[in-house]
Amino acid sequence: MAKGPPHQRTEEFEEVALPYLDALFNLALNLTRNPKDAEDLVQETYLRAFRFFDSYQPGTHIKAWLFRILRNAFTNRYRLAKARPEEVDFDKIEGVYEQMVEDDFLRGHGSVDPEQAVMVGVPDEVIQTAMVALPEEYRAVVIMALVEDLSYKEIASALSIPLGTVMSRLHRGRKQLQVALLEYATRKGILKQGPDVSTGEAG
Amino acid sequence: MNCKSFRDQIFLFQADELSAQDREVGQQHLDTCETCAERLRVEESLLRALKAKLPRTPAPPGLQTRIRASLREQAAPEVRVPWYRTGWFVATAAAVLLMAMLVPSLVVEVPPGTDGAGVAVREAVVVVDLDCDQAGYDLASQRACTHPHHINALKRGDGSYWSISSEEKDFRYLLLDRDVRGQQLVVQGRLYPETHTVHLTAVETLDARVWLPPSLDVRL
């Protein structure tokens, strides 16, 4: 980055970094689950990013770079404080998911469009509850991939994890969330009850 | 390709994360398998629903203004900081450091171990292998360079270099380690302009770690 007078560098930084304010806040909120903490985290992210702006490589995806900083700041702040959420049995979820998709949509009940059913019949709180049930590192991947449209590679670099880990977290997270949506829709009678879709605590 | 292997990678197919070749093979299977084509339609529909339901909470009004204000505060010219040169301030700095976990800024200042010559600096830099970098090698090659006489330097935003000097052995690795080449840091210390050498007093990394002299005995 070219050096200039401080105010000029500040403006340059704001111009490239502030458009991602909403995206950063959304991620922060999903990680901290608390609006005040999320605000603090976002503010810290910007200050930290600004300090490193001199060494920011202009070719790098700035959104992924900012996410990386936010994620690191989050880990740094909360790793000691937060107890891990209960372990999720993903093997079970995978089986449940397969069976639900099979029973609800592929085996003769094909008249219902899943998107339609979810959009009409499932309130937003259901997905929020399901997100909270996901481990924090899964939530980060889900938001980055499905809300922010980062590629797997960009996520891997932002979180400093291998590509394979991005995949497994995203795919498992996605299945668990979709199970929650489908379960709710089934409970409310929007989808027909297939045989044996009880799953315990996923939703 | 059979149905099982198609389904194993159906999410990758949807996300367009398959290699061109694998994607082609998957597409061929889809063209001939109505079951998998139907399964893909269902997955696409579910994915659209999930994306639509995932939370998108915008930043609250006022946050942007606060961030702009704090950036301007931080961008203000570096203050010459005589107050922290008294050694007793270290104890306070250690206490502040613990609280810094809860406060947006995590800058840690410790007294330089010199007699006060030089100029106080704080700047974002990248660690490089000085010889390799000047010869034009990229950072990956620099990390791979095992030349015993090569030492690290700090590359500034304008492309110039600072040599590293520190009495603290905790910073020694910055000078010698191959793995730290390419790392972005904010360094703080005193610069001796005639030798382009910076005497380090604190180092902050992008992933929020701070190295401090061991005498402070602060664990982060």
Q: Per residue in A98-110, pLDDT tens?
A: 888 888 777 765 5
A196 by DSSP, 3-state: which?
coil
Residues 6+ apart with CB under 8 A from A181: A118, A122, A126, A127, A130, B46, B49, B50, B53
User: What pLDDT is attached to residue B165?
Assistant: 78
In the numeric block, which tokens belong to residue A81?
Answer: 């404080």
A residues 98-137 lying closer than 8 A (beta carbon) to B? 101, 105-106, 110, 113-119, 122, 124, 126-128, 131
**pLDDT (tens digit, 0 to 9) for every residue of chain B, 220 residues total?**
889 999 999 999 999 999 999 999 999 999 999 999 999 999 999 999 999 999 999 999 999 999 999 998 877 654 444 444 444 454 555 555 545 444 333 343 444 444 446 788 888 899 999 888 988 888 888 988 888 778 889 999 888 899 887 666 667 778 878 888 888 888 888 888 877 888 888 888 776 555 544 443 333 3
A72/B206 Cβ within 8 A = yes
| CA distance, residue B147 to nearest chain A CA (Å) | 25
Q: Is A11 on the interface with B (CB under 8 A)?
A: no
Contact between chains at A42 and B63 (C-beta distance less than 8 A): yes
User: Which residues 157-196 of A have a C-beta within 8 angstroms of B?
Assistant: 160, 167, 170-171, 174, 177-178, 181-182
Q: Are B106 and B133 in contact (CB under 8 A)?
A: no
pLDDT at residue A79, as a whole number: 64
pLDDT of residue B211: 53
Q: What pLDDT was estimated at residue A5?
A: 62
**For chain A, what is the total number of helices (H) and then of strands (E)?**
10, 0
The percent of residues in chain A predicted with pLDDT above 90, rounded, is 42
| pLDDT tens by residue, A72-100 | 888 877 765 555 555 678 888 888 898 88
Distance from CA of B47 to the nearest CA of A (A): 8
**Which is higher by pLDDT, A53 or B108?**
A53
CA distance A69 to A46: 9
Nearest to A54 among B43, B53, B123 (CB): B123
Contacts of B207 in chain A (CB under 8 A): 68, 72, 75-76, 160
Pairing state of beta strands B152-155 and B184-192? Answer: unpaired
**Tell me, what's the ipTM?**
0.84
Average pLDDT over residues A119-141: 91
Test mutation, B54, B155, B211, chain A, max A CBs within 10 A: B54
pLDDT of residue B177: 82
Q: Environment class of residue A113 by beta-carbon count within 10 Å: exposed (0-12), middle (13-18) or buried (19+)?
A: middle
**Distance (Å) from the alpha carbon of B20 to chain A's nearest alpha carbon:** 15
Euclidean distance between CA atoms B218 and A40, whole angstroms: 23
Question: Hey, what are A117's tokens?
Answer: 């059913």
Q: Is A43 on the interface with B (CB under 8 A)?
A: yes
Rounded Cα gap, residues A11 and A22, in angstroms? 19
Which residues in chain B touch residue A181, judged by CB atoms under 8 angstroms apart?
46, 49-50, 53
The average pLDDT across A160-188 equals 92
- Residue A122 with chain B: CB contacts under 8 Å: 53
pLDDT at A136: 86
Hey, what long-range contacts does A190-196 have (CB within 8 A, 24 or more apart)? A190/A112, A190/A117, A190/A120, A190/A121, A190/A122, A191/A104, A191/A109, A191/A112, A191/A117, A192/A104, A192/A109, A192/A112, A194/A99, A194/A100, A194/A102, A194/A103, A194/A104, A194/A107, A194/A109, A195/A103, A196/A99
The DSSP output letter for B214 is: G
Backbone angles phi, psi at B185, to 5 degrees: -135, 155
In terms of CA atoms, which chain B residue is nearest residue A38?
B59
Residues B166, B174: Cα–Cα separation, whole Å: 10
Q: Tell me the C-alpha distance between A199 and B206, whole Å.
A: 42
The three-class DSSP label of residue A178 is helix
Q: What does pLDDT average to over chain A?
A: 83
Mean pLDDT, rounded, for A28-49: 93
Q: How far is the alpha carbon of A177 from chain B, nearest alpha carbon, in Å?
A: 8
Amino acid at A57: Q
Q: How far is CA A168 from CA A51, A92, A165, A191, in A?
A: 34, 15, 5, 28
Contact, B196 vs B161, CB < 8 A?
yes
Which residues of chain B does A29 touch, with a Cβ-Cβ cutoff of 8 Å? 55, 57
Residues in chain B: 220
Decide if pLDDT at A70 tops 60: yes
